Structure 1
Protein backbone atom coordinates (compact mmCIF):
# COMPACT_ATOMS: atom_id res chain seq x y z
CA UNK A 1 0.00 0.00 0.00
CA UNK A 2 1.31 3.41 -0.92
CA UNK A 3 2.22 5.48 2.14
CA UNK A 4 0.03 8.47 1.27
CA UNK A 5 -3.00 6.20 0.76
CA UNK A 6 -2.43 4.83 4.28
CA UNK A 7 -2.25 8.39 5.66
CA UNK A 8 -5.53 9.37 3.96
CA UNK A 9 -7.16 6.19 5.26
CA UNK A 10 -6.08 7.04 8.81
CA UNK A 11 -7.31 10.63 8.41
CA UNK A 12 -10.71 9.42 7.20
CA UNK A 13 -10.96 6.88 10.04
CA UNK A 14 -10.08 9.56 12.58
CA UNK A 15 -12.61 11.94 11.07
CA UNK A 16 -15.49 9.46 10.79
CA UNK A 17 -14.90 7.33 13.88
CA UNK A 18 -13.68 9.94 16.36
CA UNK A 19 -14.20 13.54 15.30
CA UNK A 20 -17.71 13.22 13.86
CA UNK A 21 -19.28 11.53 16.93
CA UNK A 22 -17.42 13.94 19.25
CA UNK A 23 -18.59 16.98 17.27
CA UNK A 24 -22.17 15.67 17.25
CA UNK A 25 -22.15 15.26 21.04
CA UNK A 26 -20.73 18.76 21.52
CA UNK A 27 -23.30 20.28 19.13
CA UNK A 28 -26.19 18.48 20.84
CA UNK A 29 -25.04 19.56 24.33
CA UNK A 30 -24.45 23.13 23.16
CA UNK A 31 -27.91 23.25 21.57
CA UNK A 32 -29.56 21.82 24.70
CA UNK A 33 -27.68 24.33 26.86
CA UNK A 34 -28.77 27.20 24.58
CA UNK A 35 -32.42 26.13 24.62
CA UNK A 36 -32.44 25.85 28.42
CA UNK A 37 -30.84 29.31 28.75
CA UNK A 38 -33.53 30.80 26.49
CA UNK A 39 -36.29 29.13 28.49
CA UNK A 40 -35.03 30.40 31.84
CA UNK A 41 -34.00 33.86 30.58
CA UNK A 42 -37.25 35.51 31.82
CA UNK A 43 -36.36 34.71 35.43
CA UNK A 44 -32.92 36.34 35.27
CA UNK A 45 -34.27 39.47 36.96
CA UNK A 46 -34.96 37.35 40.06
CA UNK A 47 -31.46 35.81 40.14
CA UNK A 48 -28.57 37.36 42.08
CA UNK A 49 -26.29 39.50 39.91
CA UNK A 50 -23.02 38.14 41.32
CA UNK A 51 -21.97 34.76 40.01
CA UNK A 52 -20.32 31.77 41.60
CA UNK A 53 -16.71 30.87 40.73
CA UNK A 54 -16.66 33.58 38.07
CA UNK A 55 -19.67 32.24 36.17
CA UNK A 56 -22.99 34.00 35.91
CA UNK A 57 -26.08 32.59 37.53
CA UNK A 58 -27.88 31.97 34.23
CA UNK A 59 -25.27 29.52 32.85
CA UNK A 60 -24.96 27.80 36.24
CA UNK A 61 -28.72 27.39 36.49
CA UNK A 62 -28.80 26.06 32.92
CA UNK A 63 -26.12 23.48 33.81
CA UNK A 64 -28.06 22.39 36.90
CA UNK A 65 -31.28 22.05 34.88
CA UNK A 66 -29.45 20.10 32.14
CA UNK A 67 -28.02 17.82 34.83
CA UNK A 68 -31.47 17.13 36.28
CA UNK A 69 -32.98 16.55 32.82
CA UNK A 70 -30.30 13.95 32.06
CA UNK A 71 -30.81 12.41 35.52
CA UNK A 72 -34.55 12.10 34.88
CA UNK A 73 -33.83 10.67 31.42
CA UNK A 74 -31.52 8.08 33.00
CA UNK A 75 -34.22 7.07 35.49
CA UNK A 76 -36.80 7.02 32.69
CA UNK A 77 -34.60 4.73 30.55
CA UNK A 78 -34.57 2.18 33.37
CA UNK A 79 -38.37 1.81 33.16
CA UNK A 80 -39.64 -1.44 31.66
CA UNK A 81 -41.80 0.22 28.97
CA UNK A 82 -38.93 2.37 27.75
CA UNK A 83 -36.57 -0.62 27.63
CA UNK A 84 -38.84 -2.15 24.99
CA UNK A 85 -38.49 0.98 22.80
CA UNK A 86 -34.69 1.19 23.03
CA UNK A 87 -33.94 -1.87 20.83
CA UNK A 88 -36.15 -0.38 18.10
CA UNK A 89 -34.26 2.95 18.31
CA UNK A 90 -30.92 1.14 18.27
CA UNK A 91 -31.86 -0.92 15.21
CA UNK A 92 -33.24 2.00 13.20
CA UNK A 93 -31.37 5.11 14.32
CA UNK A 94 -28.40 4.59 16.64
CA UNK A 95 -26.62 2.06 14.41
CA UNK A 96 -25.95 4.97 12.06
CA UNK A 97 -23.56 6.44 14.65
CA UNK A 98 -20.08 5.01 13.97
CA UNK A 99 -18.84 2.74 16.75
CA UNK A 100 -22.14 2.91 18.70
CA UNK A 101 -22.47 -0.85 19.27
CA UNK A 102 -18.91 -1.20 20.52
CA UNK A 103 -19.28 1.86 22.75
CA UNK A 104 -22.59 0.57 24.14
CA UNK A 105 -21.02 -2.79 24.98
CA UNK A 106 -18.16 -1.08 26.80
CA UNK A 107 -20.58 1.15 28.74
CA UNK A 108 -22.65 -1.91 29.68
CA UNK A 109 -19.46 -3.59 30.85
CA UNK A 110 -18.48 -0.62 33.01
CA UNK A 111 -21.92 -0.37 34.62
CA UNK A 112 -22.24 -4.11 35.13
CA UNK A 113 -25.12 -4.71 32.71
CA UNK A 114 -25.05 -8.46 32.24
CA UNK A 115 -27.48 -8.32 29.32
CA UNK A 116 -24.64 -7.38 27.01
CA UNK A 117 -24.33 -10.29 24.59
CA UNK A 118 -20.91 -9.31 23.25
CA UNK A 119 -18.07 -11.50 24.48
CA UNK A 120 -14.31 -11.53 23.98
CA UNK A 121 -13.33 -14.62 22.00
CA UNK A 122 -10.49 -16.44 20.27
CA UNK A 123 -11.33 -17.90 16.86
CA UNK A 124 -9.29 -20.74 15.39
CA UNK A 125 -8.59 -20.95 11.67
CA UNK A 126 -5.98 -23.36 10.25
CA UNK A 127 -3.93 -23.62 13.47
CA UNK A 128 -4.03 -19.85 13.83
CA UNK A 129 -6.00 -17.93 16.43
CA UNK A 130 -7.45 -14.48 16.15
CA UNK A 131 -8.96 -12.20 18.80
CA UNK A 132 -12.53 -11.14 18.20
CA UNK A 133 -15.78 -10.01 19.74
CA UNK A 134 -18.75 -12.35 19.47
CA UNK A 135 -21.73 -10.14 18.66
CA UNK A 136 -24.39 -12.83 18.70
CA UNK A 137 -24.85 -16.58 18.48
CA UNK A 138 -27.76 -18.29 16.77
CA UNK A 139 -29.35 -21.68 17.36
CA UNK A 140 -27.97 -23.09 14.09
CA UNK A 141 -24.45 -23.22 15.53
CA UNK A 142 -23.10 -20.02 13.98
CA UNK A 143 -21.82 -16.83 15.56
CA UNK A 144 -21.35 -13.33 14.19
CA UNK A 145 -17.84 -12.23 15.19
CA UNK A 146 -16.25 -8.81 14.80
CA UNK A 147 -12.46 -8.82 14.39
CA UNK A 148 -11.14 -5.38 15.43
CA UNK A 149 -8.08 -3.98 13.69
CA UNK A 150 -5.28 -2.14 15.45
CA UNK A 151 -4.62 0.59 16.37
CA UNK A 152 -8.11 1.95 17.12
CA UNK A 153 -10.09 -1.34 17.45
CA UNK A 154 -13.21 0.42 16.12
CA UNK A 155 -12.85 -0.79 12.55
CA UNK A 156 -12.28 -4.30 11.41
CA UNK A 157 -13.91 -7.30 9.79
CA UNK A 158 -17.24 -9.02 10.46
CA UNK A 159 -17.59 -12.78 9.83
CA UNK A 160 -20.17 -15.51 10.36
CA UNK A 161 -18.28 -18.41 11.94
CA UNK A 162 -19.16 -21.86 13.29
CA UNK A 163 -19.57 -21.54 17.03
CA UNK A 164 -17.53 -24.66 17.77
CA UNK A 165 -14.36 -22.94 16.47
CA UNK A 166 -14.74 -20.16 19.06
CA UNK A 167 -13.20 -20.08 22.53
CA UNK A 168 -14.77 -17.57 24.90
CA UNK A 169 -12.18 -15.61 26.87
CA UNK A 170 -12.67 -14.56 30.47
CA UNK A 171 -11.50 -11.07 29.52
CA UNK A 172 -13.49 -7.86 29.50
CA UNK A 173 -14.08 -6.17 26.17
CA UNK A 174 -12.19 -3.09 27.33
CA UNK A 175 -9.15 -5.25 28.13
CA UNK A 176 -9.39 -6.89 24.72
CA UNK A 177 -9.68 -3.59 22.85
CA UNK A 178 -6.75 -2.17 24.85
CA UNK A 179 -4.74 -5.24 23.89
CA UNK A 180 -5.61 -4.73 20.21
CA UNK A 181 -4.64 -1.06 20.44
CA UNK A 182 -1.19 -2.24 21.60
CA UNK A 183 -0.93 -4.62 18.59
CA UNK A 184 -1.30 -7.69 20.83
CA UNK A 185 1.40 -6.81 23.34
CA UNK A 186 0.62 -8.80 26.48
CA UNK A 187 -1.72 -11.25 24.74
CA UNK A 188 0.16 -14.35 25.93
CA UNK A 189 -1.13 -13.75 29.48
CA UNK A 190 -4.73 -14.13 28.23
CA UNK A 191 -4.22 -17.57 26.71
CA UNK A 192 -4.27 -20.47 29.14
Structure 2
Protein backbone atom coordinates (compact mmCIF):
# COMPACT_ATOMS: atom_id res chain seq x y z
CA UNK A 1 0.00 0.00 0.00
CA UNK A 2 2.89 2.36 0.82
CA UNK A 3 4.39 1.73 -2.62
CA UNK A 4 1.14 2.70 -4.37
CA UNK A 5 0.72 5.78 -2.19
CA UNK A 6 4.29 7.01 -2.71
CA UNK A 7 4.18 6.27 -6.46
CA UNK A 8 0.91 8.18 -6.91
CA UNK A 9 2.27 11.08 -4.83
CA UNK A 10 5.50 11.09 -6.86
CA UNK A 11 3.45 11.15 -10.07
CA UNK A 12 1.44 14.10 -8.81
CA UNK A 13 4.58 16.02 -7.81
CA UNK A 14 6.01 15.31 -11.26
CA UNK A 15 2.85 16.26 -13.21
CA UNK A 16 1.71 19.38 -11.32
CA UNK A 17 4.58 21.63 -12.54
CA UNK A 18 4.13 20.32 -16.09
CA UNK A 19 0.38 20.97 -16.02
CA UNK A 20 0.93 24.48 -14.63
CA UNK A 21 3.53 25.16 -17.35
CA UNK A 22 1.18 23.95 -20.10
CA UNK A 23 -1.69 26.03 -18.69
CA UNK A 24 0.44 29.18 -18.44
CA UNK A 25 1.82 28.73 -21.96
CA UNK A 26 -1.71 28.08 -23.26
CA UNK A 27 -2.98 31.31 -21.70
CA UNK A 28 0.07 33.19 -22.99
CA UNK A 29 -0.68 31.85 -26.48
CA UNK A 30 -4.30 33.06 -26.26
CA UNK A 31 -3.22 36.53 -25.08
CA UNK A 32 -0.57 36.82 -27.80
CA UNK A 33 -3.11 35.81 -30.45
CA UNK A 34 -5.30 38.71 -29.29
CA UNK A 35 -2.35 41.12 -29.20
CA UNK A 36 -1.13 40.06 -32.63
CA UNK A 37 -4.68 40.00 -34.01
CA UNK A 38 -4.76 43.45 -35.67
CA UNK A 39 -1.47 42.82 -37.48
CA UNK A 40 -2.37 39.28 -38.39
CA UNK A 41 -5.78 40.31 -39.75
CA UNK A 42 -3.91 41.62 -42.78
CA UNK A 43 -2.64 38.10 -43.52
CA UNK A 44 -5.17 35.82 -45.20
CA UNK A 45 -5.58 32.86 -42.81
CA UNK A 46 -7.47 30.88 -45.39
CA UNK A 47 -4.35 29.17 -46.69
CA UNK A 48 -2.19 26.75 -44.72
CA UNK A 49 0.68 29.22 -45.00
CA UNK A 50 -1.45 31.99 -43.45
CA UNK A 51 -2.42 29.82 -40.47
CA UNK A 52 1.19 28.71 -40.01
CA UNK A 53 2.39 32.31 -40.17
CA UNK A 54 -0.13 33.36 -37.50
CA UNK A 55 1.09 30.58 -35.19
CA UNK A 56 4.76 31.38 -35.83
CA UNK A 57 4.28 35.09 -35.11
CA UNK A 58 2.36 34.28 -31.92
CA UNK A 59 5.06 31.87 -30.69
CA UNK A 60 7.78 34.42 -31.53
CA UNK A 61 5.89 37.04 -29.49
CA UNK A 62 5.76 34.65 -26.51
CA UNK A 63 9.51 34.06 -26.80
CA UNK A 64 10.10 37.82 -27.03
CA UNK A 65 7.99 38.48 -23.91
CA UNK A 66 9.91 35.73 -22.03
CA UNK A 67 13.21 37.25 -23.16
CA UNK A 68 12.20 40.75 -21.99
CA UNK A 69 10.93 39.30 -18.69
CA UNK A 70 14.29 37.54 -18.28
CA UNK A 71 16.15 40.80 -18.87
CA UNK A 72 13.97 42.57 -16.31
CA UNK A 73 14.47 39.75 -13.78
CA UNK A 74 18.27 39.97 -14.19
CA UNK A 75 18.26 43.77 -13.78
CA UNK A 76 19.22 45.39 -10.49
CA UNK A 77 15.87 47.10 -10.07
CA UNK A 78 13.93 43.84 -9.76
CA UNK A 79 16.69 41.62 -8.30
CA UNK A 80 15.42 41.78 -4.71
CA UNK A 81 11.82 41.24 -5.80
CA UNK A 82 12.76 38.23 -7.93
CA UNK A 83 14.89 36.79 -5.09
CA UNK A 84 11.95 37.05 -2.66
CA UNK A 85 9.62 35.32 -5.12
CA UNK A 86 12.29 32.67 -5.72
CA UNK A 87 12.56 32.03 -1.96
CA UNK A 88 8.76 31.71 -1.64
CA UNK A 89 8.55 29.30 -4.60
CA UNK A 90 11.31 27.16 -3.10
CA UNK A 91 9.27 26.83 0.10
CA UNK A 92 5.84 26.40 -1.52
CA UNK A 93 6.65 24.15 -4.47
CA UNK A 94 8.43 20.89 -3.76
CA UNK A 95 10.99 20.26 -6.45
CA UNK A 96 11.31 23.93 -7.47
CA UNK A 97 14.98 24.13 -6.44
CA UNK A 98 15.59 20.87 -8.29
CA UNK A 99 13.90 22.18 -11.45
CA UNK A 100 15.80 25.44 -11.10
CA UNK A 101 19.08 23.49 -11.03
CA UNK A 102 18.14 21.75 -14.26
CA UNK A 103 17.43 25.04 -16.01
CA UNK A 104 20.59 26.60 -14.59
CA UNK A 105 22.61 23.65 -15.91
CA UNK A 106 21.29 24.38 -19.42
CA UNK A 107 21.93 28.15 -19.11
CA UNK A 108 25.73 28.48 -19.21
CA UNK A 109 25.56 32.10 -17.96
CA UNK A 110 23.62 31.13 -14.86
CA UNK A 111 25.24 30.15 -11.61
CA UNK A 112 23.99 26.66 -10.87
CA UNK A 113 22.95 26.56 -7.21
CA UNK A 114 23.72 22.84 -6.83
CA UNK A 115 27.28 21.92 -7.75
CA UNK A 116 28.19 18.19 -7.92
CA UNK A 117 30.65 16.98 -5.28
CA UNK A 118 31.95 13.76 -3.75
CA UNK A 119 31.65 13.41 0.01
CA UNK A 120 34.16 11.06 1.66
CA UNK A 121 32.77 8.77 4.33
CA UNK A 122 34.99 6.15 5.98
CA UNK A 123 36.02 3.85 3.11
CA UNK A 124 33.75 5.22 0.34
CA UNK A 125 32.57 8.43 -1.27
CA UNK A 126 29.00 9.51 -2.02
CA UNK A 127 27.70 11.82 -4.69
CA UNK A 128 26.19 15.02 -3.41
CA UNK A 129 25.46 18.60 -4.39
CA UNK A 130 27.07 21.55 -2.66
CA UNK A 131 24.34 23.90 -1.43
CA UNK A 132 26.03 26.62 0.61
CA UNK A 133 28.68 27.26 3.26
CA UNK A 134 27.66 26.50 6.84
CA UNK A 135 29.65 27.49 9.91
CA UNK A 136 33.45 27.62 9.93
CA UNK A 137 34.97 24.73 8.02
CA UNK A 138 31.66 23.09 7.10
CA UNK A 139 29.24 23.16 4.17
CA UNK A 140 25.65 22.13 3.49
CA UNK A 141 25.44 19.24 1.01
CA UNK A 142 22.35 17.62 -0.52
CA UNK A 143 22.85 13.84 -0.80
CA UNK A 144 20.37 12.48 -3.38
CA UNK A 145 19.04 8.95 -3.43
CA UNK A 146 19.39 6.70 -6.47
CA UNK A 147 17.55 6.27 -8.76
CA UNK A 148 15.00 8.80 -7.39
CA UNK A 149 17.21 11.85 -7.07
CA UNK A 150 14.34 14.10 -5.96
CA UNK A 151 14.57 12.56 -2.49
CA UNK A 152 17.62 12.37 -0.32
CA UNK A 153 19.06 14.00 2.76
CA UNK A 154 20.76 17.24 3.69
CA UNK A 155 24.02 17.04 5.63
CA UNK A 156 26.45 19.45 7.24
CA UNK A 157 29.87 18.17 6.13
CA UNK A 158 33.44 19.17 6.96
CA UNK A 159 34.94 20.99 3.97
CA UNK A 160 37.98 18.66 4.01
CA UNK A 161 35.67 15.72 3.14
CA UNK A 162 34.17 17.45 0.07
CA UNK A 163 35.74 17.08 -3.38
CA UNK A 164 34.26 19.18 -6.23
CA UNK A 165 33.50 17.37 -9.48
CA UNK A 166 34.14 18.70 -12.99
CA UNK A 167 30.68 17.56 -14.02
CA UNK A 168 27.46 19.38 -14.55
CA UNK A 169 24.24 18.87 -12.64
CA UNK A 170 22.44 17.03 -15.45
CA UNK A 171 25.24 14.50 -16.10
CA UNK A 172 25.51 13.69 -12.40
CA UNK A 173 21.74 13.29 -11.98
CA UNK A 174 21.58 11.12 -15.13
CA UNK A 175 24.24 8.82 -13.73
CA UNK A 176 22.45 8.50 -10.39
CA UNK A 177 19.15 7.73 -12.11
CA UNK A 178 20.90 4.85 -13.89
CA UNK A 179 22.08 3.41 -10.56
CA UNK A 180 25.52 4.97 -11.02
CA UNK A 181 26.16 3.77 -14.56
CA UNK A 182 28.79 6.07 -16.07
CA UNK A 183 29.89 7.50 -12.70
CA UNK A 184 33.45 6.28 -13.16
CA UNK A 185 33.82 8.67 -16.10
CA UNK A 186 32.88 11.80 -14.10
CA UNK A 187 36.11 13.80 -13.68
CA UNK A 188 37.18 14.81 -10.18
CA UNK A 189 38.46 18.39 -9.94
CA UNK A 190 42.02 18.69 -8.64
CA UNK A 191 42.63 22.15 -7.13
Q: State the TM-score bracket (shorter-chain normalisation).
A: 0.7 to 0.9
Count of residues in correspondence between the two structures: 188
Q: Report the Cα distance in structure 1 between the residues aligned to 2:172 and 2:103, rounded to whole angstroms.
A: 14
Aligned to 2:150: 154
TM normalised by structure 2 equals: 0.81
Say if 2:128 and 2:144, in contact at 8 Å, map to a contact too: yes
1:181 deviates by: 0.4
| Preserved CA contact (<8 Å) 1:118 1:134 | yes
Q: Secondary structure at the match of 1:108?
A: helix
Distance 2:105 2:37 in 1: 40
- The separation in 1 between residues aligned to 2:187 and 2:65, in whole angstroms, is 45
Which of residues 138, 141, 148 is equivalent to 1:142?
A: 138
**For 2:61, which of 65, 70, 82 is the aligned residue?**
65
Alpha-carbon shift at residue 134 of structure 1 (Å): 1.0
Runs of 5+ in structure 2 lacking a partner? none
Find the residue that maps to 2:51 and give its secondary structure: coil
* CA shift for structure 1 position 32: 1.7
1:6 is matched with which residue? 3
Q: 1:158 to 1:41 in 2, by over 3 A?
A: same
How far off its partner does 1:88 sit?
A: 1.5
**2:77 matched to which residue of 1?**
81
Let me know the Cα RMSD of the aligned residues: 2.7
Structure 1 gap ranges (5+): none
Which ranges of 4 or more aligned residues in structure 1 deviate by more than 6 Å? none
Check conservation: 1:132, 1:145, Cα contact below 8 A: yes
Instruction: Measure the CA separation in 2 of the matches of 1:117 and 1:72.
Output: 23
